[in-house]
Structure formats: structure tokens, C-alpha cells
């Protein structure tokens, strides 16, 4: 690759971006150029190469897509925080890709736009309002960045097609912290609990500047300790230095036990109670619960961090391969794949489609998308979820709620 996308240039590009709008964003950019002359048929490729992560394309999804299409999907899984670097290092090595930090891929011309009509599930009346009216939710500087990562021409042509979304936040263990969650009806802990002296040496942050600096900047701006010139996901060099200098004393004094890189690492640290609270993704909370350790995902006092994941097709591939990438993209918004995302706790951006509602049922859909309570009270739900752990039924309600597993309680959705 040329000097313009060297490791040094890449770090300079992403070091000041982070994620209130797309902290976990991934996208599929779709090659849509038609052949110069009409062709009567397009031969489907027998194989497509996909650079991705298990969150975006679980093994079950790969197996099912191959079964229904006959296409061999050659999947390469990468660690989340280094996906874009590896894809930029050799963009000829993949046909379809996903990543969490894809702005450099747009900037390098490795992604091309796609008309909205090529994504039939992307309808204004079916998707989250924020995707069409982001100005209602973010300040102007953030709106500009949000749209750059989503639209080629707002409302008409997409540069990325989101397939899942959620909020990043803080997972914490209520056995050690005096908080509890009530379905988002109240704000619990502040982000600054990560450097609270009471939890010194028991907290964690993510091993990535993109996340650490933006999440901290969000807290500092919300509490009026600092002001930032633009989007907190696009900090200037001076602003990055200011956030760094704010955090440095806490790091040097040992407040932060770990900057986690591996998903399995942070789940293990929570499950064994080595870490009591950390900046994480939501599945970390659920997988900690599955190990029998009560865990909550915080409704932060100053707001969690909205993101969406999407995917892209290389602009270097042939029209035939590009069309297969579009098919794969559309399939990610279909019910089967969305069921897999829902199991991780990730909602669909096209949440209002009737087949989602019908498959989930009123109780699950109401709990997942509308903030409603389950039909069973927690003392009954915990018995159904943990039949081999009768001792859990004797725990205080606060800890029982922290052991609730949606994929076990709503297991009808996957069976």
C-alpha cells in the first residue's frame, strides 16, 4: 500500500475519531456500476470472500447463506480493533468486509454508493428515525460525521447500509457496586466511576484510543469540564492531548486494572470477578450472566454511546461479485440473520417490519424494543432460566434481575 495509508497515517486518521454516533459502526459499501452495455444474464460467482467478525456473520449465518444460495462464503474472522488496518493493508484480499472503524475505507475510495431502492428493507417508515433525521438527535458537527458514514446523498443513496445498532456503555457487577438497572427508567452510574477510588484496580477500559477518548470526551463535555470544537468523534490533536492528560494520572496510579482487547478476556475477568466494572459492549454483560455472575449494563447518567454496524463491498471487485455482495447485504436485514443479532442483544435498524414482530411475539418485541416488562415476574422468570441453580431463586431481586437471560427466557424465538 502507498504511504498515504501506512500504519502511521492510519493511526493519525482514526486517533481522534470515536463514537457517539458510530462508536461501533461497520458498513457495507456496495459496488453498483453497471456494465457499459446491457448483458442478458449475469453469472453468479461460486465464491465470495468475506473479511468480518463473528458478531456480524456468525457461523450459523454462513452455513445458512451457503445452503440457500449455493455460494461458498470464504469467511475470515479478525479481531475487532484491527479489522480496518488489515483490510487497508491488502484491499485485494477481500470482496465483502466489515469493520468497526471504516472512515478510512471511504476516504481511500474502497467503497461505492448504492441507491436506496436496492435495499428493499430500508424504508423510512420501517427504520429508526435517527437514520433519516439525525439532526433531531445530535449537534451539527456530529450530524455531518454521521451522514458521511451513512449517506452518499441523504435520503436517496447510501454509502453504508446498517444491519444492527445499539449503545455501548459500562458493564458492572452489582455484588460490589450499589446500583441497579430499571429498564432505562432511571440513570445509574456516571462514566467517571471507572476512576472512582473506591473501585481502584477493579475497572477496565477498551484497548483502543477511538473508544477511550470519545467516551471520556463525552463525559467531560457533558459535565462541562471541557469543551470541544466539533464532534467528539473527531477530536483535534490538541483535544486528544487534553483528554490524554486528564486520564494519565488515573492510569499511572493504577485505577484501571486492564485495557481489554480480546472479547474472551473481558468476559473472563468479569465472570471471575477480577473486574467489577468496565467500558464494554452489551454481549459482555449477557455472557457474564451466562457464567452465573450477576451483571448489569448501565444507563449512564450522561448517556450511552450510540453506534450502528453495516458492511461494504469492495470497489475493486467485478460486477458479478459486487451483485453477490448486495444480495448478502440484503440477507443481513432478513429475519434469519436478525434473529442471530437479537440473540446477542443487538436490535435491527429496520425494527418496524411485521415479520420481526410476528416472530418475536408481543412479549419479546415489547420487552426488546418498547421497554415493557416480561409477563412473568423476575422470581418466576429466574426459575425458568436457571432450573439447575435453585439457589438463584433465593437471591435478592436486585441480583436476580442481573441474571436475566433473554435468549433463555424467550427461547421460542430461536427454536
In the predicted structure, residue 37 carries a pLDDT above the cut 90: no
In the predicted structure, residue 382 carries a pLDDT above the cut 60: yes
Angle at alpha carbon of residue 52, lines to 47 and 58, rounded to 5° = 85
- What value does the mean pLDDT take over residues 233-237? 93
Question: What's the length of the chain?
Answer: 415
What integer pLDDT is reported at residue 11 of this predicted model? 31
CA distance 132 to 122: 10
Pairing of strands 96-97, 114-115: unpaired
Give me 366's grid cell.
415489547
Q: Check if the beta carbon of residue 323 is closer than 8 Å to that of residue 206.
A: no
Task: Give the dihedral sign, CA 259/260/266/272.
Answer: negative
What integer pLDDT is reported at residue 41 of this predicted model? 59
What integer pLDDT is reported at residue 415 of this predicted model? 72
Give me 72's grid cell.
461458498
- Tens of pLDDT along 54-82? 988 999 999 999 999 999 999 999 988 88
Instruction: Map out the domains of the chain with their CATH numbers.
Output: 3-163+310-333 (3.40.190), 168-305 (3.40.190.10), 372-414 (no CATH)
Q: Check if the beta carbon of residue 21 is closer than 8 Å to that of residue 306.
A: yes
The mean predicted confidence, pLDDT, of the chain is: 87
Q: How confident is the model at residue 42 (pLDDT cuts 50, 70, 90)?
A: low
Higher-scoring residue by pLDDT: 297, 313: 297
Amino acid at each position: 500500500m502507498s504511504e498515504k495509508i501506512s500504519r502511521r497515517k492510519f493511526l493519525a486518521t482514526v486517533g481522534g475519531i470515536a463514537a457517539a454516533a458510530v462508536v461501533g459502526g461497520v458498513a457495507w459499501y456496495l459496488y453498483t456500476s453497471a456494465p457499459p452495455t446491457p448483458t442478458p444474464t449475469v453469472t453468479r460467482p461460486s465464491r465470495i470472500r468475506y473479511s468480518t467478525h463473528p458478531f456480524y456473520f456468525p457461523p450459523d449465518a454462513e452455513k445458512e447463506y451457503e445452503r440457500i444460495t449455493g455460494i461458498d462464503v470464504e469467511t475470515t474472522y479478525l479481531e475487532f480493533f484491527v479489522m480496518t488496518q488489515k483490510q487497508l493493508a491488502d484491499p485485494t484480499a477481500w470482496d465483502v468486509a466489515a469493520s468497526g472503524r471504516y472512515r478510512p475505507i471511504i476516504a481511500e475510495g474502497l467503497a461505492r454508493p448504492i441507491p436506496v431502492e436496492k435495499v428493499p428493507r430500508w424504508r423510512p417508515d420501517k427504520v429508526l428515525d435517527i437514520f433519516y433525521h439525525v439532526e433531531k438527535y445530535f449537534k451539527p458537527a456530529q450530524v455531518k460525521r454521521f451522514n458521511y458514514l451513512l449517506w452518499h446523498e441523504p435520503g436517496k443513496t447510501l454509502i453504508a447500509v446498517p444491519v444492527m445498532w445499539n449503545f455501548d456503555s459500562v458493564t458492572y457487577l452489582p455484588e460490589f457496586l450499589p446500583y441497579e438497572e430499571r429498564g432505562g427508567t432511571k440513570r445509574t452510574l456516571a462514566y467517571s466511576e471507572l476512576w472512582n477510588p473506591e473501585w481502584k484496580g477493579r475497572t477496565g477500559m477498551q484497548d483502543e484510543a477511538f473508544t477511550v477518548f470519545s467516551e471520556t470526551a463525552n463525559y467531560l463535555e457533558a459535565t462541562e469540564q471541557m469543551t470541544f470544537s466539533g464532534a467528539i468523534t473527531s477530536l483535534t490533536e490538541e483535544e486528544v492531548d487534553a483528554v490524554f492528560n486528564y486520564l494519565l494520572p488515573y492510569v499511572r496510579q493504577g485505577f484501571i486494572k486492564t485495557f481489554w482487547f480480546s472479547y474472551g478476556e473481558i468476559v473472563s475477568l468479569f465472570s471471575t470477578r477480577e473486574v467489577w466494572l468496565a467500558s464494554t459492549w452489551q454481549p459482555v454483560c449477557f455472557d457474564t450472566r451466562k457464567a452465573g455472575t450477576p451483571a448489569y449494563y448501565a444507563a449512564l447518567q450522561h448517556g450511552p454511546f450510540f453506534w450502528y454496524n453495516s458492511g461494504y463491498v469492495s470497489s475493486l471487485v467485478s460486477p458479478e461479485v459486487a451483485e453477490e455482495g448486495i444480495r448478502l447485504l440484503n440477507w443481513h436485514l432478513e429475519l434469519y440473520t436478525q434473529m442471530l443479532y437479537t440473540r446477542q442483544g443487538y436490535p435491527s435498524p429496520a425494527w418496524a417490519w411485521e415479520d420481526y414482530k410476528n416472530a418475536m411475539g408481543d412479549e419479546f418485541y415489547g420487552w426488546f424494543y418498547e421497554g415493557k416488562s416480561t409477563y412473568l415476574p423476575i422470581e418466576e422468570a429466574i426459575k425458568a432460566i436457571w432450573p439447575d441453580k435453585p439457589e438463584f431463586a433465593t437471591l435478592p431481586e436486585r441480583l436476580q434481575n442481573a441474571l436475566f437471560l433473554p435468549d433463555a427466557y424467550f427461547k421460542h424465538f430461536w427454536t
